[in-house]
Chain A
Amino acid sequence: MVAETKSEVGEASKPKRRVQGNAVVSVLAKQGILIAFALFMLGFALFSERFLSADNVMTVLRQSAIIGVMAVGVTVVVIGGNLDLSVGSMLSFSTVMVVDLHDKLGPELAIPVMLLATLCIGAVNGTLVGFLRLNSLIVTLGMLSAIQGLTLIYSGGQNVDIANQQGTWFAIFGRGQMLGIASPIVIFLGLAVLMHIVMAYTPFGRRVYAVGGNPTAATFSGIRRSRTVFLTYVISALCVGIAAIILGSRVMGSQNNVGQGYELQVLATVILGGTSLLGGSGNVLKTVIGVLILGFIQNGLLLLGYAYYVQWIVTWIVIILAVWLDVAAKRGRLLSPIA
């Protein structure tokens, strides 16, 4: 007894029944974070006529560059399934070092020496998390504290300053221009594009996504997981080094705690950009949007003249709204299905 029923699809329909038509809509809808960005840019523009002036936009971009450069590195670490909370104190360390060495060795030596030292710290992080498989949150929290101490020991707790601020070519990174645009912006966007290409189009990038998505399966696929994780931390450290050059050049000096609290700001921008803390997904270019959102919120609220605490409260709300919009767009409904 065989009861046949209707079947709209032919026998040989190999590619599955696809719901056609709203492809464009669904692609757009997935970009919740872009929509959020556009929405609140519009909001600020309505309230402050200076907000969208070329000058101000450039200022925000310039200011965001330091956080942005670090966020690019941290995005890679997070995609690889780990956290890096040590970037803030590493930034302090690297900036203090490059500024201090500037006068002692000259910028042409100070930069490579500082980068080397920073990469060493990144390598320590990478060894602990990658090769020894220690929990990245605690390792980098520990490193946050240890590097802070190292910085203070290095500088003796004193501020460092560049004596000859006018004459040094070191100024180019923070204060100069490249291609007619303020150099921090060029460095930031250039690095973001470069890292995006690395992550999206090279075998290394693919391996990072795989390791972050499922470390065991990645190992079973012949990926050297420890090495991959190690490299993500080295990349993160390199980005911190670059950020330190921009910062040192912009300020022409450094305190021992310049980077304090940056780790969480950086992480916020990475998450705003839609990178999942679970690892295995994320996008460097979207991190740039996350950076810009945070940068423009802070600037916009300042332009509106709100007291700092009002700015904090509004930032709280905006961050949650932006991420909500993003996840809601991805799942196609506003409220979460959690019962």
Chain B
Amino acid sequence: MQTLKTWLIRNPIWGFVVLIFVFFSFANPYFFDLQNFQNILVQTSTIGLIALGMTLVMINGNIDLSVGATVALAASLAIDIQGWEAFANWGNWAILPGVIAGLMSGVILGAVNGLIVWKTGVDAFIVTLGAMLGVRGLVFAYTEEQSFFAMNFAYSDFGASSVAGLPTLAVLFLLFALGTHLLLSGTVHGRNTYAVGGNREAAVNAGIRVGPHMLINFMLVGFFAALAGITLSTQMGAATPNLGREYELWTITAVVLGGTKLTGGSGTIIGTFGGVLAIGILRNGMNLMQVPAFYVLVILGTILIAVLFLDKQLTRGGKEELRT
């Protein structure tokens, strides 16, 4: 009981997740249903995958605003390339080069961002804000404004498939979340992520190569964004150049809700997972409850702020606290 309490105080977002879960379970007959939980997991997996990478980058004290555009680029590449003449007689294997190209594009874009941040010393916010526009430009240049459709239904079947009774996409997300959690909490790279974000000077003095380190995390978030783009495109069997608009904002929101500090140095995957779920459950619950579109916006915005407020109340030091 005591450990549960301290755990909740450290991850207040999970308290909120439980709260809305209970609320929607009682408020809507369709909510508490295994199929619906699977839907929620699949629906959150897109933002969720990006958020995994974003958590790393943000613990580093950086940020990546270009993930939304990367989602679109990777999805477009994956779907377009699998339809190329060259792979016409590869059968289902034709999907592979597309997916690899999509993932590579994310990793490369991440590397570009990371390299610029490292070498020029320009703030990651502005580097990736530029990239957010520029990469979207690349998407439109590449697709010539067209949407792509996956001729091979095996591709979209993958998006709808299950393993062991769970949707494949949800399993994929859970596995990557576990992997990232282990990376962050148990490996040297993960621990250095905290050091670089918590005290860059200390990290430099300790001989951590901060530049390459940040580069790797940018490549990781690029990879995750691309992967999210690809899993999303398997759900649609298609890619559109406007895919992923505003995802950067929702991802960052989820990550911060999960307790990662914008200034870097702290955050966990468990928290991020909670943040992602909170947004996913809210959206799903409000759809099921038929909240009118205009009010969804107001409610979502208000709840974000309310969660932040509650979090603050929970972590407050009490009356004796220094009032600064």
Contact = CB atoms under 8 A, between A and B. Distances in A.
A and B touch in the complex (CB under 8 A): yes
B242 to A, nearest CB: 12
Interface string B259-282: 000100000000000000000000
Interface string B300-323: 111111001100100000000001
B126 A319 contact: yes
5 contacts: A145-B304, A149-B301, A268-B130, A309-B139, A312-B137
A316 B136 CA distance: 10
A146 B133 contact: no
Contacts of A335: 119-121
Interface of B: 65, 116, 118-123, 125-127, 129-141, 204, 209-211, 214, 249, 252-253, 256-257, 262, 293-305, 308-309, 312, 323-324
Contacts of A264: 65, 129, 132
B287 to A, nearest CB: 16
A227 to B, nearest CB: 14
B122 A320 contact: yes
Interface stretch (A47-55, A106-114, A199-207, A212-220): A212-220
Contacts of A311: 137
A208 interface: no
B301 A144 contact: yes
A194 interface: no
Interface string A116-139: 000000000000100011110111
Contacts of A268: 126, 129-130
B119 A336 contact: yes
A150 interface: yes
Contacts of A312: 133-134, 136-137, 140
A182 B300 CA distance: 40
Contacts of B133: 312, 315-316
Question: What range describes how many residues of A lie at the interface?
Answer: 35 or more
B130 A225 contact: no
A29 interface: no
A309 B304 contact: no
B137 A310 contact: yes
Interface in A123-169: 128, 132-135, 137-139, 141-150, 152-153, 157
Given A264-B132, A308-B140, A271 B257 contact: no
A72 interface: no
Contact of A320 (B126, B299, B304): B126
A305 interface: no
A15 interface: no
A146 B210 contact: no
A277 interface: yes
Nearest to B65: A264
A339 B121 contact: no
A246 interface: no
Contacts of B249: 85, 141, 144
Interface stretch (A184-192, A235-243, A280-288, A321-329): A321-329
A207 B211 CA distance: 35
A300 to B, nearest CB: 16
A336 B134 contact: no
Contacts of B126: 268, 271-272, 319-320, 323
Given A135-B256, A142-B302, A271-B125, A320 B262 contact: no
A145 B300 contact: yes
B116 to A, nearest CB: 6
Contacts of A157: 294
Given A145-B304, A146-B301, A216-B324, 11 more contacts: A142-B300, A143-B305, A146-B305, A149-B299, A157-B294, A309-B141, A315-B134, A315-B137, A331-B121, A336-B120, A338-B211
Nearest to B298: A149
A299 B122 CA distance: 25
